[in-house]
């Protein structure tokens, strides 16, 4: 588990199998606001920091990941700073979710408000899905359907959003896909925002 404020990754063992953790074991520390982790098929651990993705390894098998390698660097900073990482079911792709830089804006960096697909070594980055604002909870099904939970835009003027718009969206991807509810040219009119009305 990533502990962002503490800058560390911890394991919560349950030796007696009672469903309650027996304590906390630190497996990596000294990290810069780690927000997610994903194990690779070789047992190495990928960690999402704000501006980079690390690959940690445990060569002596003692449960502590001593060795670190920067796999991806130069990710945009500011705004939404969590970086969710996960692998495709066939281990051939590493997906990184990068949130928007602000609450309501048109992004200058195409990696913002998007999920970027990389090779596991950090190469060949390409936009997989965009228009997501800040997809923190992301997973992939076997058919590479991207499923994510992205909080809707907050305090976007006086426009109110229907409650149903906050439900997770399950969308089969045709890459690169725009999967946000609003288009890039959104003018925040009542027509584009679908304000909440009685009975909706």
- Checking if the pLDDT of 72 tops 80, the result is yes
> 154 or 69: which carries more pLDDT confidence?
69
Least-confidence region, from 24-38, 59-73, 105-119: 105-119
What mean pLDDT value characterizes the chain? 77
Q: How far apart are CA 78 and CA 83, in angstroms?
A: 12
Largest CA distance in the chain: 63
pLDDT band at 106 (very low <50, low <70, confident <90, very high): confident
Q: Are the CB atoms for 96 and 83 separated by under 8 Å?
A: yes
Q: Which two tokens stand for residue 19?
A: 């469903």
DSSP string, 124-178: S-EEEEE--S---EEEE-TT-EEEEE-PPPSS-TT----GGGGS-EEEE--SSEE
> 131 or 93: which carries more pLDDT confidence?
93
Give the domain ranges of the chain.
2-193
pLDDT band at 183 (very low <50, low <70, confident <90, very high): very low
What confidence score (pLDDT) does residue 177 get? 53
Least-confidence region, from 15-19, 56-60, 101-105: 101-105
What confidence score (pLDDT) does residue 34 get? 95
- Checking if the pLDDT of 160 tops 80, the result is no
- Checking if the pLDDT of 199 tops 60, the result is no
Residues 6+ apart with CB under 8 A from 68: 54, 55, 56
Query: In terms of pTM, does the model score above 0.85?
Result: no
Of 42, 45, 43, nearest to 53 by C-alpha is: 45
pLDDT tens per residue across span 137-147: 776 655 544 44
> 41 or 142: which carries more pLDDT confidence?
41
Q: What is the average pLDDT across 33-46?
A: 96
The class of domain 2-193 in CATH terms is mainly beta
């Amino acid at each position: 588990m990533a502990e962002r404020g503490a800058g560390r990754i911890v394991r919560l063992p349950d030796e007696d199998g009672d469903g309650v953790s027996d304590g906390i074991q630190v497996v990596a520390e000294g990290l810069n606001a780690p927000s997610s982790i994903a194990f690779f098929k070789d047992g190495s651990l990928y960690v999402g920091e704000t501006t980079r993705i690390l690959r940690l390894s445990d060569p002596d098998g003692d449960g502590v990941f001593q060795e670190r390698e920067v796999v991806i660097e130069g990710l945009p900073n500011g705004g939404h700073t969590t970086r969710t990482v996960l692998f495709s079911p066939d281990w051939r792709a590493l997906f990184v979710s990068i949130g928007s830089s602000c609450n309501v804006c048109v992004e200058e960096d195409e990696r913002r408000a998007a999920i970027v697909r990389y090779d596991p070594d950090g190469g060949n980055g390409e936009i997989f899905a965009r228009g997501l604002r800040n997809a923190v909870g992301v997973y992939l099904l076997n058919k590479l359907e991207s499923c994510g939970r992205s909080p809707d835009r907050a305090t976007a003027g006086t426009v109110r959003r229907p409650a149903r718009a906050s439900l997770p969206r399950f969308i089969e991807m045709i890459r690169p896909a725009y999967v946000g509810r609003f288009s890039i040219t959104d003018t925040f009119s009542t027509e584009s925002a679908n304000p909440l009305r009685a009975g909706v």
